[in-house]
Structure 1
Amino acid sequence: MLPLDVRTLRSCLVNASRKEAADLTPPDLAALDWDHLDLLGWRDPKLPRRAYVVVPGHQDDDGGLPRGVLLRQAEAVPRRRAQCAWCQDVTLPNDVVFYAARLAGAEGRQGATVGTLLCRDFECSRNVQVLPPLAYEGFDREAARQQRIAVLEERSRAFLAAVLSEG
Protein backbone atom coordinates (compact mmCIF):
# COMPACT_ATOMS: atom_id res chain seq x y z
CA MET A 1 0.00 0.00 0.00
CA LEU A 2 1.29 3.47 -0.81
CA PRO A 3 1.70 5.87 2.14
CA LEU A 4 -1.24 8.20 2.74
CA ASP A 5 -1.53 11.54 4.49
CA VAL A 6 -4.33 12.83 6.72
CA ARG A 7 -5.82 14.97 3.94
CA THR A 8 -6.10 11.91 1.68
CA LEU A 9 -7.64 9.86 4.49
CA ARG A 10 -10.34 12.45 5.01
CA SER A 11 -11.07 12.95 1.32
CA CYS A 12 -11.25 9.25 0.39
CA LEU A 13 -14.14 8.36 2.75
CA VAL A 14 -17.04 7.45 0.48
CA ASN A 15 -19.79 7.27 3.12
CA ALA A 16 -18.86 10.02 5.59
CA SER A 17 -20.27 13.50 5.88
CA ARG A 18 -17.85 16.44 5.81
CA LYS A 19 -18.17 16.74 9.58
CA GLU A 20 -17.50 13.03 10.12
CA ALA A 21 -14.45 13.24 7.86
CA ALA A 22 -13.20 16.33 9.70
CA ASP A 23 -13.66 14.55 13.07
CA LEU A 24 -11.46 11.64 11.93
CA THR A 25 -8.58 10.92 14.29
CA PRO A 26 -5.83 9.36 12.15
CA PRO A 27 -3.45 6.65 13.28
CA ASP A 28 0.27 7.46 13.60
CA LEU A 29 0.95 7.39 9.86
CA ALA A 30 4.71 7.74 10.25
CA ALA A 31 4.87 4.58 12.37
CA LEU A 32 3.08 2.34 9.86
CA ASP A 33 4.94 -0.25 7.79
CA TRP A 34 3.27 0.67 4.50
CA ASP A 35 5.11 -2.06 2.55
CA HIS A 36 3.30 -4.75 4.58
CA LEU A 37 -0.19 -3.23 4.58
CA ASP A 38 -2.79 -4.63 2.21
CA LEU A 39 -5.34 -2.19 3.63
CA LEU A 40 -5.37 0.41 6.38
CA GLY A 41 -7.87 0.02 9.18
CA TRP A 42 -8.03 1.65 12.60
CA ARG A 43 -10.36 2.43 15.46
CA ASP A 44 -10.88 6.08 16.36
CA PRO A 45 -9.36 6.60 19.82
CA LYS A 46 -11.72 9.52 20.55
CA LEU A 47 -14.88 7.71 19.42
CA PRO A 48 -14.52 4.06 20.49
CA ARG A 49 -17.30 2.59 18.33
CA ARG A 50 -16.11 4.38 15.18
CA ALA A 51 -13.53 2.87 12.86
CA TYR A 52 -12.19 3.42 9.38
CA VAL A 53 -10.81 1.20 6.63
CA VAL A 54 -9.01 2.40 3.51
CA VAL A 55 -8.59 0.10 0.53
CA PRO A 56 -5.84 0.86 -1.99
CA GLY A 57 -7.04 1.92 -5.40
CA HIS A 58 -6.64 0.04 -8.66
CA GLN A 59 -5.97 1.63 -12.02
CA ASP A 60 -8.68 -0.54 -13.61
CA ASP A 61 -11.73 0.78 -11.78
CA ASP A 62 -10.98 3.80 -9.62
CA GLY A 63 -8.00 5.50 -11.20
CA GLY A 64 -5.61 4.21 -8.56
CA LEU A 65 -7.11 6.37 -5.83
CA PRO A 66 -7.68 4.83 -2.39
CA ARG A 67 -11.21 4.66 -1.04
CA GLY A 68 -12.20 4.58 2.58
CA VAL A 69 -15.25 3.60 4.59
CA LEU A 70 -16.49 4.90 7.93
CA LEU A 71 -17.57 1.95 10.09
CA ARG A 72 -19.52 1.69 13.32
CA GLN A 73 -18.98 -1.21 15.69
CA ALA A 74 -22.12 -2.93 16.93
CA GLU A 75 -22.71 -2.68 20.66
CA ALA A 76 -23.37 -6.40 20.96
CA VAL A 77 -20.30 -8.64 20.92
CA PRO A 78 -20.58 -12.18 19.49
CA ARG A 79 -21.00 -14.73 22.30
CA ARG A 80 -18.78 -17.22 20.53
CA ARG A 81 -15.49 -16.81 18.76
CA ALA A 82 -16.16 -15.68 15.23
CA GLN A 83 -14.05 -15.67 12.10
CA CYS A 84 -13.14 -12.48 10.27
CA ALA A 85 -14.91 -12.35 6.90
CA TRP A 86 -11.88 -10.76 5.23
CA CYS A 87 -8.79 -12.62 6.44
CA GLN A 88 -10.54 -15.78 7.69
CA ASP A 89 -7.67 -16.46 10.06
CA VAL A 90 -8.30 -19.61 12.06
CA THR A 91 -5.64 -18.89 14.68
CA LEU A 92 -6.90 -15.46 15.60
CA PRO A 93 -5.04 -13.78 18.43
CA ASN A 94 -7.68 -11.05 18.40
CA ASP A 95 -11.40 -10.46 18.74
CA VAL A 96 -13.81 -10.30 15.83
CA VAL A 97 -16.73 -7.86 15.99
CA PHE A 98 -19.59 -6.77 13.76
CA TYR A 99 -19.00 -3.52 11.88
CA ALA A 100 -21.70 -1.72 9.90
CA ALA A 101 -21.20 0.93 7.25
CA ARG A 102 -23.78 3.38 6.02
CA LEU A 103 -24.19 3.12 2.25
CA ALA A 104 -22.83 5.98 0.16
CA GLY A 105 -25.31 8.36 -1.45
CA ALA A 106 -29.06 8.74 -1.06
CA GLU A 107 -29.61 5.22 0.29
CA GLY A 108 -27.16 5.84 3.11
CA ARG A 109 -28.78 9.16 3.98
CA GLN A 110 -32.02 7.19 4.39
CA GLY A 111 -30.33 4.82 6.84
CA ALA A 112 -29.37 1.84 4.64
CA THR A 113 -26.31 -0.05 5.88
CA VAL A 114 -24.22 -3.10 5.13
CA GLY A 115 -22.20 -5.01 7.72
CA THR A 116 -19.65 -7.74 8.25
CA LEU A 117 -17.57 -9.47 10.90
CA LEU A 118 -14.01 -8.10 11.02
CA CYS A 119 -10.95 -8.25 13.23
CA ARG A 120 -11.69 -5.72 15.98
CA ASP A 121 -8.43 -3.85 15.47
CA PHE A 122 -7.98 -4.62 11.76
CA GLU A 123 -5.12 -7.11 12.05
CA CYS A 124 -6.11 -8.62 8.67
CA SER A 125 -2.96 -7.49 6.83
CA ARG A 126 -0.77 -8.96 9.54
CA ASN A 127 -2.78 -12.20 9.64
CA VAL A 128 -2.54 -12.90 5.91
CA GLN A 129 1.18 -12.08 5.80
CA VAL A 130 2.05 -14.94 8.18
CA LEU A 131 3.31 -18.05 6.41
CA PRO A 132 0.76 -20.83 6.92
CA PRO A 133 1.95 -24.08 8.52
CA LEU A 134 3.25 -26.86 6.31
CA ALA A 135 0.08 -28.79 5.45
CA TYR A 136 1.83 -31.65 3.65
CA GLU A 137 5.19 -32.45 2.08
CA GLY A 138 5.69 -30.18 -0.94
CA PHE A 139 3.04 -27.64 0.18
CA ASP A 140 3.92 -24.22 -1.27
CA ARG A 141 3.59 -21.98 1.79
CA GLU A 142 4.49 -18.81 -0.13
CA ALA A 143 1.81 -19.47 -2.76
CA ALA A 144 -0.70 -20.07 0.02
CA ARG A 145 0.27 -16.75 1.63
CA GLN A 146 -0.10 -14.91 -1.70
CA GLN A 147 -3.53 -16.51 -2.15
CA ARG A 148 -4.61 -15.28 1.31
CA ILE A 149 -3.43 -11.76 0.44
CA ALA A 150 -5.39 -11.86 -2.83
CA VAL A 151 -8.53 -13.07 -1.02
CA LEU A 152 -8.22 -10.24 1.54
CA GLU A 153 -7.98 -7.73 -1.30
CA GLU A 154 -10.96 -9.27 -3.09
CA ARG A 155 -13.19 -9.33 0.00
CA SER A 156 -12.32 -5.82 1.19
CA ARG A 157 -12.96 -4.44 -2.31
CA ALA A 158 -16.29 -6.33 -2.47
CA PHE A 159 -17.33 -4.70 0.81
CA LEU A 160 -16.36 -1.31 -0.58
CA ALA A 161 -18.45 -2.03 -3.69
CA ALA A 162 -21.40 -2.93 -1.46
CA VAL A 163 -21.06 0.40 0.39
CA LEU A 164 -20.98 2.14 -2.97
CA SER A 165 -23.99 0.01 -4.02
CA GLU A 166 -22.01 -1.30 -6.98
CA GLY A 167 -22.80 -4.94 -6.34
Structure 2
Amino acid sequence: MRPLSEQDIRASFINCSKGEAKRLSIPRDLDERPWGDLDFLGWRDPGAPDRSYLVTEHAGRLIGVTLRFPSSQRGFLHRSMCSLCLTTHPGSGVSLMTARKAGAAGREGNSVGVYMCTDLACSLYVRGKKVSEAGGRFEESLTTEEQIARTVGNLSSFLDTLFV
Protein backbone atom coordinates (compact mmCIF):
# COMPACT_ATOMS: atom_id res chain seq x y z
CA MET A 1 0.00 0.00 0.00
CA ARG A 2 1.24 3.49 -0.75
CA PRO A 3 1.77 5.88 2.17
CA LEU A 4 -1.30 8.00 2.90
CA SER A 5 -1.65 11.51 4.21
CA GLU A 6 -4.26 12.68 6.70
CA GLN A 7 -5.99 14.52 3.83
CA ASP A 8 -6.08 11.34 1.68
CA ILE A 9 -7.59 9.40 4.58
CA ARG A 10 -10.28 11.94 5.48
CA ALA A 11 -11.37 12.31 1.83
CA SER A 12 -11.71 8.53 1.33
CA PHE A 13 -14.64 7.73 3.64
CA ILE A 14 -17.76 6.47 1.90
CA ASN A 15 -20.08 5.59 4.78
CA CYS A 16 -20.04 8.70 6.94
CA SER A 17 -20.65 12.40 6.42
CA LYS A 18 -17.86 14.81 5.51
CA GLY A 19 -18.26 16.33 8.98
CA GLU A 20 -17.82 12.93 10.65
CA ALA A 21 -14.75 12.23 8.49
CA LYS A 22 -13.33 15.61 9.46
CA ARG A 23 -13.73 14.83 13.19
CA LEU A 24 -12.55 11.22 13.32
CA SER A 25 -9.30 10.34 15.01
CA ILE A 26 -6.42 9.76 12.54
CA PRO A 27 -3.33 7.81 13.69
CA ARG A 28 -0.46 10.09 14.65
CA ASP A 29 2.17 7.60 13.47
CA LEU A 30 1.43 7.61 9.72
CA ASP A 31 5.13 8.16 8.93
CA GLU A 32 6.07 5.08 10.96
CA ARG A 33 3.55 2.62 9.47
CA PRO A 34 5.03 -0.35 7.55
CA TRP A 35 3.30 0.70 4.31
CA GLY A 36 5.07 -1.92 2.19
CA ASP A 37 3.57 -4.67 4.36
CA LEU A 38 0.02 -3.28 4.48
CA ASP A 39 -2.89 -4.22 2.26
CA PHE A 40 -5.04 -1.70 4.14
CA LEU A 41 -4.62 0.87 6.87
CA GLY A 42 -6.71 -0.07 9.89
CA TRP A 43 -6.89 1.51 13.33
CA ARG A 44 -9.08 1.72 16.42
CA ASP A 45 -10.40 5.02 17.69
CA PRO A 46 -8.82 5.69 21.10
CA GLY A 47 -11.69 8.03 22.01
CA ALA A 48 -14.48 5.63 21.02
CA PRO A 49 -13.76 2.04 22.09
CA ASP A 50 -16.43 0.60 19.79
CA ARG A 51 -15.11 2.21 16.60
CA SER A 52 -12.45 1.33 14.07
CA TYR A 53 -11.54 2.60 10.63
CA LEU A 54 -10.20 0.95 7.50
CA VAL A 55 -8.76 2.61 4.38
CA THR A 56 -7.64 0.75 1.24
CA GLU A 57 -7.44 0.87 -2.53
CA HIS A 58 -10.61 -0.66 -3.99
CA ALA A 59 -11.86 -0.65 -7.59
CA GLY A 60 -9.22 1.87 -8.58
CA ARG A 61 -9.85 4.40 -5.81
CA LEU A 62 -9.13 4.98 -2.16
CA ILE A 63 -12.00 3.81 0.07
CA GLY A 64 -12.38 4.54 3.77
CA VAL A 65 -14.92 2.74 5.96
CA THR A 66 -16.06 3.38 9.52
CA LEU A 67 -16.60 0.18 11.48
CA ARG A 68 -18.33 -0.57 14.77
CA PHE A 69 -17.88 -3.59 16.98
CA PRO A 70 -19.24 -4.77 20.33
CA SER A 71 -17.17 -3.89 23.36
CA SER A 72 -18.02 -7.12 25.20
CA GLN A 73 -15.08 -9.37 25.97
CA ARG A 74 -15.06 -13.11 25.37
CA GLY A 75 -13.29 -15.55 27.62
CA PHE A 76 -9.67 -16.35 26.84
CA LEU A 77 -10.54 -19.99 26.10
CA HIS A 78 -12.89 -18.97 23.28
CA ARG A 79 -11.16 -18.86 19.88
CA SER A 80 -12.40 -17.19 16.70
CA MET A 81 -11.09 -16.91 13.15
CA CYS A 82 -10.81 -13.74 11.09
CA SER A 83 -12.73 -14.14 7.85
CA LEU A 84 -10.24 -11.95 5.95
CA CYS A 85 -6.83 -13.41 6.83
CA LEU A 86 -7.93 -16.69 8.49
CA THR A 87 -5.91 -16.01 11.65
CA THR A 88 -7.32 -17.45 14.87
CA HIS A 89 -7.32 -15.45 18.09
CA PRO A 90 -8.32 -16.15 21.68
CA GLY A 91 -10.92 -14.11 23.55
CA SER A 92 -11.86 -10.86 21.86
CA GLY A 93 -9.10 -11.03 19.22
CA VAL A 94 -11.75 -11.34 16.49
CA SER A 95 -14.83 -9.11 16.43
CA LEU A 96 -17.87 -8.74 14.26
CA MET A 97 -17.14 -5.42 12.55
CA THR A 98 -20.20 -3.75 11.07
CA ALA A 99 -20.17 -0.98 8.51
CA ARG A 100 -23.05 1.24 7.51
CA LYS A 101 -23.72 0.86 3.79
CA ALA A 102 -22.82 3.68 1.43
CA GLY A 103 -25.47 6.05 0.06
CA ALA A 104 -29.21 5.91 0.60
CA ALA A 105 -29.11 2.36 2.02
CA GLY A 106 -26.76 3.49 4.78
CA ARG A 107 -28.87 6.54 5.56
CA GLU A 108 -31.80 4.14 6.01
CA GLY A 109 -29.77 2.23 8.62
CA ASN A 110 -28.63 -0.75 6.54
CA SER A 111 -25.28 -2.25 7.45
CA VAL A 112 -23.14 -5.31 6.74
CA GLY A 113 -20.65 -7.12 8.91
CA VAL A 114 -17.56 -9.26 8.77
CA TYR A 115 -15.52 -11.07 11.43
CA MET A 116 -12.09 -9.43 11.51
CA CYS A 117 -8.99 -9.27 13.67
CA THR A 118 -9.94 -6.70 16.31
CA ASP A 119 -6.53 -5.01 15.98
CA LEU A 120 -6.95 -4.80 12.17
CA ALA A 121 -3.45 -6.22 11.63
CA CYS A 122 -4.47 -8.87 9.08
CA SER A 123 -1.72 -7.82 6.65
CA LEU A 124 0.96 -8.35 9.29
CA TYR A 125 -0.42 -11.72 10.42
CA VAL A 126 -0.46 -13.07 6.85
CA ARG A 127 3.13 -11.96 6.30
CA GLY A 128 4.33 -13.41 9.63
CA LYS A 129 5.29 -9.93 10.92
CA LYS A 130 2.91 -10.29 13.87
CA VAL A 131 1.79 -13.41 15.75
CA SER A 132 -1.56 -13.96 17.43
CA GLU A 133 -1.57 -14.89 21.12
CA ALA A 134 -3.02 -18.23 20.04
CA GLY A 135 -0.29 -18.85 17.51
CA GLY A 136 -3.11 -18.22 15.08
CA ARG A 137 -1.90 -19.26 11.61
CA PHE A 138 -2.55 -22.69 10.16
CA GLU A 139 0.06 -24.45 8.05
CA GLU A 140 -1.06 -23.96 4.47
CA SER A 141 0.12 -25.14 1.10
CA LEU A 142 -0.52 -21.65 -0.30
CA THR A 143 2.45 -19.33 -0.68
CA THR A 144 2.52 -16.09 1.29
CA GLU A 145 1.68 -14.21 -1.91
CA GLU A 146 -1.36 -16.43 -2.46
CA GLN A 147 -2.48 -15.89 1.14
CA ILE A 148 -2.10 -12.12 0.68
CA ALA A 149 -4.17 -12.30 -2.51
CA ARG A 150 -6.86 -14.28 -0.66
CA THR A 151 -6.94 -11.71 2.17
CA VAL A 152 -7.21 -8.83 -0.32
CA GLY A 153 -9.95 -10.72 -2.18
CA ASN A 154 -11.89 -11.32 1.04
CA LEU A 155 -11.63 -7.64 1.93
CA SER A 156 -12.70 -6.64 -1.58
CA SER A 157 -15.76 -8.89 -1.35
CA PHE A 158 -16.74 -7.25 1.95
CA LEU A 159 -16.27 -3.75 0.50
CA ASP A 160 -18.40 -4.67 -2.54
CA THR A 161 -21.33 -5.41 -0.20
CA LEU A 162 -21.25 -1.79 1.03
CA PHE A 163 -22.37 -0.57 -2.40
CA VAL A 164 -25.20 -3.07 -3.01
Q: TM-score, normalised by structure 1?
A: 0.83
Local SS of the residue matching 1:125: helix
1:118 aligns with 2:116: yes
Note the 1:84-163 alignment, pairs <5 A.
84-90=82-88, 92=89, 95-130=93-128, 144-163=143-162
* Aligned with 1:71 (options 57, 67, 75): 67
- Could you list the per-position Cα deviations for residues 88-115 of structure 1 after superposition, in whole angstroms to 9, with x for gaps in the alignment? 014x477111110000000100100000
Larger proportion of strand: 2
In 2: Cα distance, 1:147 partner to 1:89 partner = 15
Map of 1:16 onto structure 2: 16
- Give the AA of the match of 1:145: T
Gaps of 5+ in 2: 130-136
State the percentage of identical aligned residues.
35
Write the distance in 2 (CA, Å) between the matches of 1:147 and 1:50: 30
How much does 1:75 deviate?
3.7
* 2:58 maps to 1:53: no
RMSD: 2.2
Question: In structure 1, what residue type is equivalent to 2:57?
Answer: P
Query: Which has the higher Rg, Structure 1 or Structure 2?
Result: 1
Q: Secondary structure at the match of 1:15?
A: coil
**Aligned runs of 1:24-35 on 2, under 5 Å?**
24-27=24-27, 28-35=29-36
Q: Which amino acid aligns with 2:146?
A: Q
After TM superposition, where is structure 1 displaced by more than 6 Å over at least 4 residues in a row? Answer: 131-135
CA shift in 2, pair 1:144/1:100, >3 Å: same
Give the deviation of 1:81 after TM superposition. Answer: 1.5
Q: Distance in 2 between matches of 1:75 and 1:133?
A: 27
Decide whether the 8 Å contact of 1:2 with 1:35 is kept in 2: yes
Partner of 1:7: 7
